[in-house]
Amino acid sequence: MTSTKPPDRKRRNRRSRGKRFGDWLVYSIATGLLRIITALGPDRASNLGGRVARLIGPHLSVSNIARANLKMAFPQKSEEKREEILKGVWENLGRTACEYPHLDQLYDFEIEWMNPRRVEVTGIRNFQQMLWDGKPAIIFTAHLANWELPAVCAARHGLDMTILFRPPSNAFIADYVMNVRAGTMGRLLSRSRGAIMHVAASIERGDHLGLLVDQRFSRGLSVPFFQKSTPTNTTVARVARQFDCPVFGARCIRLPNNRFRLEVTDPIELPRDSDGRVDIAAATQAINKIIEGWIREYPEQWLWLHNRWDFNKKQLKKNRPKAEG
């Protein structure tokens, strides 16, 4: 008996099955590697990941995005200096990836301890304010050092928080990531068009909202970042405007010997309009300025591999290393 399905539907079904198999294959390889990384322990895994990524990463084509970004952000730096930053970017990414199965072990900070071990925290009073005041707040962060640790910190110390995040496109890996994160980071909310309704409900309950805001957001507002305007996530400013709740910044800094410092800022005074409400454009620009300052301090610890300023192929081609040109 011949199939009655239209040819287009058949092709779509084949593509769908092919993609699902491809996703499963990538997931199987990734989980196999993660088992090895888990067996190594946090220090050896981080060191190995950093060395391998530093060696291989700069030769991958995606590094041309980072080169274009770095040249735009730091035109005064020499090409050699920018290449050194790029190597550090890859080392940090390799370390962060291999630290992923060890997040529970990495975070060892306790508020009552006077002498920090692997993790130290500055701005702990600001964290305690959020923990004890019973009020909602917004915490923004960026892809710096091991950017998962601020959320681990919040969950470990009992801060009610909803984490807004973008899941991986691979459905198998997305499920794995959700399971790992849910066990260490609390309540997770996938970024989607309907997510803002859940965010509003969370804030109304008195919860805290945590989110990364440093990547390109195509539906966002175009505001300056490193002196060049680019579409930017306005969720922090919009929620702060609607609920008039305090806003804090949090970042992770990678220290020598596989240690970390987490910093929680004081409440940030966001710009307001003539009616006394948070000005969305000015507030978003102020947040960009804070994140830019963090990146300038430790440029090798930020994820420059993301096409934040939407460079096209022709522009990226110009940033190939001279040996490739």
pLDDT in tens, 91-119: 999 999 999 889 888 999 987 776 778 99
**Contact between residue 261 and residue 252 where contact means Cβ atoms under 8 Å apart:** yes
What DSSP element (H or E) covers 164? Answer: strand 161-165
Whether the per-residue pLDDT at 14 is higher than 80: the answer is no
pLDDT band at residue 78 under the 50/70/90 scheme: very high
Q: What are the phi and psi torsion angles at 210 (to 5°)?
A: -120, 135
Residue ranges of domains in the chain, CATH in brackets: 8-325 (3.40.1130)
pLDDT of 199: 84
What distance in Å separates the CA atoms of residue 216 and residue 226, rounded to the nearest whole number?
Answer: 13
The per-residue pLDDT for 120 is 93
What residues contact 208, with CB distance under 8 A and at least 6 apart?
130, 136, 137, 138, 139, 154, 159, 160, 161, 162
Pairing of strands 247-255, 137-141: parallel
Q: How confident is the model at residue 249 (pLDDT cuts 50, 70, 90)?
A: very high
pLDDT above 60: residue 2: no
Rounded mean pLDDT of 16-44? 78
Which of 162-166, 184-188, 266-270 shows the lowest per-residue confidence on average (mean pLDDT)? 184-188
- What mean pLDDT do residues 54-72 have? 95
Instruction: Enter the pTM of the model.
Output: 0.87
State pLDDT tens for residues 291-303.
999 999 999 999 9
